[in-house]
Amino acid sequence: MNKIKIMIDGISLIAVLENNLTGKKIWAALPFEAQVTTWGDEIYFEIPVTVEQEPDARVDVDVGTLGYWPPGKALCIFFGPTPISKNEKPRAASPVNVCGRMTVATTALRNLPEGARVRVERAVAGK
């Protein structure tokens, strides 16, 4: 599995990409930068990747899930309930392709300002 580093507003996080079509396309497009949008306990940002909705795409995901949202060409990081959640678990606005998972706690993302700059790159081995 490929590891990525996500840096936002002084926060540095590591995630692991799935070995599926979406994960492979994200890996191939790295590095990239964007501005984040917040939606409850989810952040998302447009990335230079286009992937159709995969057969196993879903709206209900776990905390720490990385999802690709095809309508917005966006990478989503879910770290708690969203405005449409039915309980404490994240729920996407529409189906996302699950493309990875965070390897560390994501609670620091709760205080990010709208529009914060994010950079995603390949993680260097051992870091």
pLDDT-based confidence at residue 127 (cuts at 50, 70, 90): very low
- Percent of all residues in the chain with a pLDDT value above 70, rounded to a whole number: 98
What is the residue-wise DSSP string for 34-71?
A: EE-EE-SSEEEEE-S---PPPTT-EEE--TTEEEEEGG
- Domain range 3-122, CATH class: mainly beta
pTM score of the predicted model: 0.94
**Does pLDDT of 116 surpass 70?**
yes
Mean pLDDT of the chain: 95
What is the phi/psi pair of residue 111, to 5°? -100, 10
Give all strands (DSSP E) within the chain, no chain letters: 3-8, 11-17, 32-35, 37-38, 42-46, 58-60, 65-69, 74-78, 91-102, 117-122
